[in-house]
């Protein structure tokens, strides 16, 4: 999986104020919708919240991978944000989250969804990779750090 196929510089935000899980998901939805006009921010936010109700997407080590299927999405789309202050995300290790990597897939992309999610989780479980993401101080530096998964 190539991270650059999921995110873009305009969907990569460094050091933003999250405040809460709900606010962070809203920020991700708005960031994606601003970059991809066919995606409605409110609908995306509702779907991300709906997915979180099924179980937290906080995978541990301060990482969350909010994800959902959505209409008007021609391929897998991602957005990456780091937060100035970690937030409670009901993660599996009970640690607060400061790195969120949202992932959207088309409604009918079932196996692609699972494969990309697994590859993304694998990259984010790498301590050196997480450290590079956290060390970034600008949107551009975060984007560049995200592209280097090994």
Write out pLDDT tens, residues 43-52: 999 999 999 9
pLDDT of residue 1: 55
Is the pLDDT at 109 greater than 60? The verdict is yes
For residues 96 and 102, what is the distance between their CA atoms, to the nearest angstrom? 17
Cα 37 from chain centre: 18
Catalytic residue flag (residue 61)? no
Give the whole-number percent of the chain exceeding pLDDT 70: 96
Is the pLDDT at 40 greater than 60? The verdict is yes
pLDDT of residue 5: 84
CB contact at 8 A, 99 and 82: yes
Q: Number of helices (H) and strands (E) in the chain: give both, helices first.
A: 5, 6
pLDDT of residue 72: 75
Write out pLDDT tens, residues 61-93: 999 999 998 887 778 899 999 999 999 999 999
Catalytic, out of 67, 72, 110, 113: 67
pTM confidence score: 0.93
Give the whole-number percent of the chain exceeding pLDDT 90: 74
CATH 3.40.930.10 fits 3-147, yes or no: yes
Is the pLDDT at 150 greater than 60? The verdict is no
Is the pLDDT at 41 greater than 70? The verdict is yes
């Amino acid at each position: 999986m190539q991270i650059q196929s999921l995110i873009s510089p305009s969907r990569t935000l460094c050091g933003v104020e999250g405040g809460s899980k709900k606010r962070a998901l809203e920020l991700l939805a708005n960031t994606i919708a601003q970059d991809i006009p066919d995606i409605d921010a409110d609908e995306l936010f509702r779907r991300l919240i709906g997915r979180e109700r099924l179980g937290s997407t906080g995978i541990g080590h301060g990482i969350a991978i909010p994800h959902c299927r959505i209409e008007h999405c021609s391929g897998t789309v991602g957005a990456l944000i780091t937060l100035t202050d970690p937030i409670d995300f009901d993660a599996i290790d009970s640690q607060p989250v400061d790195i969120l990597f949202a992932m959207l897939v088309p409604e009918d992309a079932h196996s692609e969804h699972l494969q990309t999610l697994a590859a993304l989780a694998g990259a984010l479980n790498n301590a050196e990779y997480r450290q590079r993401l956290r060390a970034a101080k600008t949107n551009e530096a975060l984007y560049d750090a995200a592209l280097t998964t090994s």
